[in-house]
Amino acid sequence: MLCTQASCFFNAKKSVLLLSLLHHFNSSLAYSLKNCTIKYSLNPLADVFVDCGNCGLVTVPVDIPRDVTSATLLNNLLEKINREDFSNLSKLRFLDLHLNKISHVDNGAFIQLGALTSLYMSFNKLTNLTANLFQGLANLTMLDLTYNNIGFIHTSAFQFLTSLLTVILDNNQLQKITDIQPVLELPQILSIIDNRLSLSLSLSLVISSYKMEKFSITTPTFPHLETIDLSHFCRGPVLKWEIPDKSLLKNITRLYFGDVSIHFGDIRNVLQSLDSLRHLTLNNMERWINQGLLATVCKIPTLQRLDLSWSTIINVSAKLVTCSQLSELDLSMTQTIELSKDSIRSMKRLRKLNVEQNLLSKVPDDIRRLSFLETLILSDNYISELGCDDFINTTHLTELYLDSNNITKLDKCVFEHLNYLNVLDVSDNLLSTLGDTFKLGPKMLTFLDLSRNLLPVFEKGDFQGLGSLKYLNVSNNIVRLKDKAFDGLNNLESLRISLLSKWYYSFRELQGLKNLTIIFSGAAHSKHFKQSNLHDFEVCDGLKSLKVFTVIFSGNQCDFPFPALKQTIQSMTHLETFTAFNIYISALDRDTFQFNTQLKNLTIRHTNLSHLDPVLFLPIANLQVLDLSNSELKSLDFLAQAGLSALRCLILKDNHITVINETVFQSLPALTYLDLDNNPFTCDCFNAGFIRWVLNNKQTQAVNAYQYTCSFPVAHQGRKLLDFNYDACLMNISFLFFISSTCLVVGILLSSFTFHFLRWQFAYTFKLFQAFLYDKRNMKKKGAPHQFDAFVSYNVHDEAWVYREMLPVLEGEQGWRLCLHHRDFQPGKPIMENITDAIYDSRKTICVISRHYLQSEWCSREIQMASFRLFDEQKDVLILLFLEEIPTQQLSPYYRMRKTVKRRTYLSWPQAGQHRVFWQNVRRALETGDDSNLLIILI
Ligand SMILES: *[C@@H]1O[C@H](CO)[C@@H](O)[C@H](O)[C@H]1NC(C)=O
Ligand SMILES: *[C@@H]1O[C@H](CO)[C@@H](O)[C@H](O)[C@H]1NC(C)=O
Ligand SMILES: *[C@@H]1O[C@H](CO)[C@@H](O)[C@H](O)[C@H]1NC(C)=O
Ligand SMILES: *[C@@H]1O[C@H](CO)[C@@H](O)[C@H](O)[C@H]1NC(C)=O
Ligand SMILES: *[C@@H]1O[C@H](CO)[C@@H](O)[C@H](O)[C@H]1NC(C)=O
Ligand SMILES: *[C@@H]1O[C@H](CO)[C@@H](O)[C@H](O)[C@H]1NC(C)=O
């Protein structure tokens, strides 16, 4: 449900400086509200206006932002104002609560609203204005309580309203003069009290409703009272007037009567006593007018303005003959068919005459005599012809309204004498030709409206005489433009025109034009198009100073109406606002705006922009308002590369956007207003980030976001997007993210650490793993008896020592069966397998360790395999014989070995003075049983 229609208001005149200050002034105001809209204004100092009206609200929304200066809650279902409803709104100046069902207001509910100046609570159900109701409203000047059921006003109800100027209590249940005493005691009040008072009032101005029987003023309670307004109530019992002292009405200058029942004699008496009256309104009072009341009215010497509208007056002209003092006369909606001769001719001072919405078929004759007339409103009559004499003597006329008549043609003589004419409205007539009308003047004309006529063509020089014209509206004619049609319009700033599409048109002569609206109609274009050459569409070149350009196509869009549009736009280097409705068939060329660096406001609607190239926006980085509604957009991704860092207002209503990646808003740092109404959102985890952003960001208001509905998946159709439980998605996502990023970080740390400090160990571990694989293959052999006592692992460089020193002692003297790979390995078997078999077929593995051994890959594999068996079987299988001194750091690749070596005391071959002791130690090591946990190292 949409509560209010919202849109961006763009004020082109506000300076960029002000815009850049927005964050300082209104930093907390813009975020998405549940049922309200913050109206967008580009002026950061402007009022913050929150609209919560027409929304069916039963409570005051809690999310009204603190900076709000104006708030409307009109036409809701509020029944009660609670103490906390308006707390913290210390900047609020205007509050509209009218058309609710409020019957109770908590004491002190307005106590925080010290800045409030206007409070509108009409059309509610208040019955009792209690003592502390208005506490805190020290700055309130306007209080409207019309149409409640107020029957009681506490004597101190108004004591806090020290600035009050106007209180309106019309149509309540106040019965006695004491009821309104609290109001009457306020010093500066102009009060208009329209109630069921039936007592005769001795004090004041009290304007009655149907129950009031007497209107009486007997003492000068309101010395400054200027206005009595009796225009807002229905016919009731006849009102009795009692104003014995005429001088009490001396200061009344305005008197409004509307539909009041009053005795003719009474009203005549009143009018006779008003000798300072300047403005009299008698709406719907034809009974007295037709009885001759105007004779009295015309005798009020001070009367200047007389408004007789809505009264059907018989022969009004005759009745006004003596009203020569008037300067303003309103006869609109009086069913006047004609103003007879000599009726108003005596009104020599008349400056403004309004006869709109009558039945006049020609300009009244008497108007010629009104030589001081400045404003003449003849709108909405049946005038079909203008004669040369019609305005011959009204030479002071500055504004002439002839709109909504049946005028078929104009003649040059008609306006010939109107040298001061400023505004001329001839819209909505039947004009089919301009003729020479504007070839010579009126010279002072600045505003001309010729829209909604039947003008088919503008010829060269048609507006030649209008050198002062600033605003010209010729839209809603079916117009073709001839060359130089606008010659002479040297000061034209604003032009609105309807054109046949694909016809030749040029605006070259309008050098100063700032605002151009072209409305293309599709009619009759194709035939002409084929006949003419493309170079005829050189179009609006020369519009260098144009700031606002609007182009609209009202026909069938498949015919692109404006082939030269791109070149036209490119020539408008000062363009600030560009609006195109139903103009583009597909996405705009990427270089369309390359020369429009001043562009601030771009609206393209009713177009297929599904293939929009973000490069389009790069030259217009100052853009502040972008509206691409109804343009078949499927995603916001284009914004990520669009570079719109100044964009503040984005409207993408009525598109096909289903999923929004919230990271796109990082590329829109200035965005405060976002409207995505009527898009087919998908309510799943893909939108989780967007939903969270809408709810939590403190800068951008997503307008009506709480009303966005799900279109997908089908099971969720019709539900609210923001009701989608996104927590679950975010938990998974963030948890996964946490885990993966943690693993990544730890992994990187570990691997770099490992690489720097433990790279050898790392390599070793890898090899160990390889060994593990081989080990697994040999599991089956585990239980079998060993073929050898020891497998001797050595490097080929140490073979001499093995054969010369080791074999004679261990095999010869001590009788061990040794496995030597040169001697005992099976030919043809893969070497790795031979090593593995040798190790597992031997009780022990003797490693003859030298520098060469450590450098040999095969040897190291052997030691790994053996050491793996060592750990795997928890058996002492490894005997290390060190042939030479090796610094322990050189053992680093063999991490475990190094650790072992460091832990144990050992002897090495070179150190052993007596080799006999060395060999005895080896024998002891070979003799140890399988289950010993001792690792024997002999060196
Ligand atoms: C106000 O907004 C809430 C949240 O979206 C919604 O549930 C509620 O229906 C709205 N109230 C009205 C009256 O629109
Ligand atoms: C009341 O109005 C005065 C004058 O306009 C202003 O200076 C003052 O700040 C206002 N009080 C509050 C509480 O806004
Ligand atoms: C109005 O309200 C006050 C305070 O609630 C109460 O004392 C008083 O009786 C009421 N008056 C009427 C006429 O209802
Ligand atoms: C009319 O106004 C003047 C000053 O505005 C005042 O002095 C005078 O008393 C008023 N007259 C009446 C009858 O209220
Ligand atoms: C125009 O005014 C002059 C002087 O007041 C008067 O003589 C003349 O008759 C008027 N013209 C018409 C057409 O009423
Ligand atoms: C005025 O023009 C309308 C529309 O063309 C026509 O229906 C109407 O009869 C005309 N009225 C007069 C009084 O000429």
Confidence of residue 532 (pLDDT cuts 50, 70, 90): very low
Where does the pLDDT of residue 54 fall: very low under 50, low under 70, confident under 90, or very high at 90 and above? confident
Cα-based distances in Å from 225 to 185, 229, 547, 687: 15, 11, 49, 63
Helix axes 857-873 and 759-777, enclosed angle (nearest 10): 70
- Tell me the mean pLDDT in the region 7-17: 35
Which residue has the least CA distance to atom 4 on ligand 3? 130
pLDDT category, 525, cuts 50, 70, 90? very low
- 503 band by pLDDT with thresholds 50, 70 and 90: low
* Percentage above 90 pLDDT, the chain: 26
Residues with CB under 6 A from ligand 1: 1, 34-35, 55-57, 706
Q: Is 711 in the pocket of ligand 3 (CB under 6 A)?
A: no
Distances in Å between the Cα of 694 and the Cα atoms of 332, 482, 585, 672, 673 are 52, 53, 33, 12, 11
| DSSP string of 27-70, one letter each residue | TTT-S--SS-EEPEES-TTS--EEE--SS--SS--TT--TT-SE
Indicate whether residue 219 lines ligand 4 (CB < 6 A): no
**CA distances, 657 to each of 331, 680, 718 (Å):** 55, 6, 16
Ligand 6 atom 1: residue of nearest CA? 406
- Which pLDDT score, from 0 to 100, does residue 192 have? 52
| Six token digits for residue 147 | 């149409």
Ligand 1 center to 35 CA (angstroms): 6
* pLDDT at residue 383 in the model: 93
At position 697, the amino acid (one-letter code) is N
> How far, in Å, is the centroid of ligand 6 from the Cα of 377?
19
Element of type H or E holding 405:
none
Nearest atom, ligand 6, residue 405 CA: 1
- Under DSSP, the state recorded for 640 is G
pLDDT in tens, 644-686: 999 989 999 999 999 998 889 999 998 988 999 999 999 888 8
- 504 pLDDT above the threshold of 70: no
In this structure, which topology does domain 617-724 adopt according to CATH?
A: 3.80.10
CA nearest neighbour of 631 among 661, 655, 599: 655
The ligand 3 atom at the shortest distance from the C-alpha of residue 152 is 13
Q: Which two tokens stand for residue 660?
A: 């929004």
Name which of 654-658, 824-828, 837-841 the model is least confident about: 824-828
Separation CA 659–CA 159 (nearest Å): 57
**Residues 141 and 117 sit within 8 Å (Cβ to Cβ):** yes
Q: Is the pLDDT of residue 150 over 80?
A: yes
- The CB density around residue 907, as the number of other CB atoms within 10 Å, is 16
Per-residue confidence (pLDDT) for residue 932, from 0 to 100: 39
Distance 330 CA to ligand 5 centre (A): 24
Q: Which backbone phi and psi does 472 adopt, to 5 degrees?
A: -130, 125
Ligand nearest to the CA of 162: 2
The closest-lying atom of ligand 1 relative to the alpha carbon of residue 76 is 13
The CA–CA distances, whole Å, from 26 to 18, 22, 96, 647 equal 12, 6, 22, 16
Which pLDDT tens digit goes with each residue over 380-412?
A: 999 999 988 889 889 999 999 999 999 998 888
Q: Any idea where the domains of the chain sit in the sequence?
A: 1-197, 199-314, 327-430, 434-441+453-583, 617-724, 759-938
pLDDT above 90: residue 836: no
User: Measured in angstroms, how far is the CA atom of residue 707 from the centroid of ligand 1?
Assistant: 8
User: Exposed/middle/buried for 42, CB within 10 Å: 0-12, 13-18, 19+?
Assistant: buried
In angstroms, what CA-CA distances link 221 with 165, 174, 730? 15, 19, 70
Report residue 382 CA to chain centroid gap: 46
Q: Closest Cα to residue 581, out of 541, 631, 621, 532?
A: 631
| 243 C-beta closer than 6 A to ligand 5 | no
Q: Which of 238-252, 464-478, 489-503 has the lowest mean pLDDT?
A: 238-252
User: E-assigned strands of 232-304?
Assistant: 240-242, 254-258, 279-283
Best residue for ligand 5 mutational test, from 347, 366, 369 (most atoms within 8 Å of Cβ): 369
Ligand 2 center to residue 115 CA distance, Å?
A: 6
Mean pLDDT in residue range 834-849: 79
Query: Residue 388 CA: which ligand is closest?
Result: 5
Q: Which of 24-28, 329-333, 447-451, 907-911 has the lowest mean pLDDT?
A: 24-28
Give CA–CA dist 32/702, Å, rounded: 5
Q: How confident is the model at residue 675, as a pLDDT? A: 92
- How many angstroms does the Cα of residue 114 sit away from the middle of ligand 2? 7
Contacts of 250 (CB under 8 A, 6+ apart): 275, 276
Query: Which one is predicted more confidently, 458 or 752?
Result: 458
User: Please, is 157 exposed, middle or buried when counting C-beta atoms within 10 Å of its C-beta (0-12, 13-18, 19+)?
Assistant: buried
869: closest CA among 843, 900, 901, 849?
843
Give SS3 for 168. strand
pLDDT of residue 529 exceeding 60, the answer is: no
Rounded distance, CA 305 to CA 749, Å? Answer: 90
Residue 780 has pLDDT above 50, yes or no: no
Closest-lying ligand 4 atom to the alpha carbon of residue 222 = 14
Reported as a single tens digit per residue, the pLDDT across 247-305 is: 777 777 888 877 767 778 888 887 887 778 899 988 888 888 888 888 888 888 899 99
pLDDT at 602: 95
Query: Ligand 2 centroid vs 139 CA: distance in angstroms?
Result: 6
By percentage, how much of the chain surpasses pLDDT 70?
Answer: 72
pLDDT, mean of residues 614-622: 91
Structure confidence at residue 786 (pLDDT): 79
**Best of 80, 104, 128 for a ligand 3 pocket test (most atoms within 8 Å of beta carbon):** 128
Q: What is the tens place of the pLDDT at every residue in 791-812?
A: 888 887 888 888 888 888 888 8
Biggest CA–CA distance in the chain, Å, is 159
395 lines ligand 5 (CB under 6 A): no
> Does residue 239 come out as left (phi exceeding 0), alpha (psi in the -120 to 50 range) or beta?
beta
* Rg for the chain, CA atoms, rounded: 49
Is 389 touching ligand 5 by the criterion CB < 6 Å? Answer: yes
- 912 token code pair: 């052993």
Separation between Cα atoms, residue 576 and residue 273, nearest integer Å = 59
Tell me the two tokens of residue 848. Answer: 């003859």
Asked if 340 and 320 count as a contact pair (C-beta separation under 8 A), the reply is no
Q: What mean pLDDT comes out for the span 559-563?
A: 64
Is domain 1-197 in CATH 3.90.1640.10, yes or no?
A: no
5 or 433, greater pLDDT: 433
CA-nearest of 380, 381, 389, 378 to 411 is 389
| Tens digit of each residue's pLDDT (9 = 90 or more) over 174-224 | 766 667 777 766 655 555 554 544 322 322 333 434 345 556 666 555 555
CA angle 307, 387, 428 (to 5 degrees): 65
* Cβ of residue 251 lying under 6 Å from some atom of ligand 4: yes
* pLDDT surpassing 70 at residue 536: no
pLDDT score, position 530: 41
Ligand 3 test: best mutation among 130, 150, 155, most atoms within 8 Å of CB? 130
What is the CATH number assigned to the segment(s) 327-430? 3.80.10.10
What is residue 45's predicted lDDT score, i.e. its pLDDT?
63
Long-range contacts of 642-647 (CB under 8 A, 24+ apart): 642/614, 642/616, 642/617, 642/618, 642/667, 643/614, 643/617, 643/618, 643/667, 644/617, 644/668, 645/621, 645/669, 645/670, 646/19, 646/621, 646/622, 646/670, 647/623, 647/671
Separation between Cα atoms, residue 844 and residue 839, nearest integer Å: 7
**pLDDT bucket at 739, cuts 50 / 70 / 90:** low
Tokens representing 172 are: 């309540």
Q: What is the predicted pLDDT for the residue at 218?
A: 61
The number of the ligand nearest the C-alpha atom of 91 reads 2
Domains 617-724 and 759-938 share a fold: no
Q: Would you say residue 567 has pLDDT above 60?
A: yes
Note the pLDDT of residue 743. 62
Find out whether the beta carbon of 348 lies less than 6 Å from any atom of ligand 5.
Answer: no
* pLDDT band at residue 528 under the 50/70/90 scheme: very low
Place 586 in a pLDDT band, splitting at 50, 70 and 90. confident
- The pLDDT, as a whole number, for residue 715 is 84
> Counting Cβ atoms within 10 Å, is residue 437 exposed (0-12), middle (13-18) or buried (19+)?
buried
User: Quick one: which ligand is closest to 248's CA?
Assistant: 4
- Decide if 313 contacts 337 (C-beta within 8 A): no
Q: Which ligand is nearest to the CA of 720?
A: 1
As a whole number, mean pLDDT of residues 135-159 equals 90
Pick from 26-40, 508-522, 746-760: least confident = 746-760
Least confident of 305-314, 464-473, 538-547: 538-547
- DSSP SS3 for 596: coil
Q: Which atom of ligand 5 is nearest to the CA of 393?
A: 1
Contacts of 179 (CB under 8 A, 6+ apart): 151, 152, 153, 195, 197
SS3 274: coil
Question: CATH code for 759-938?
Answer: 3.40.50.10140
State whether the beta carbon of 635 lies less than 6 angstroms from ligand 4. no
Q: Which numbered ligand comes closest to the C-alpha of 174?
A: 3
Q: For every residue of 696-720, which 3-state class applies, written as one string?
A: HCCCCEECCHHHCEEEECHHHCCCE
Q: Residue of the nearest CA to atom 4 in ligand 6?
A: 406
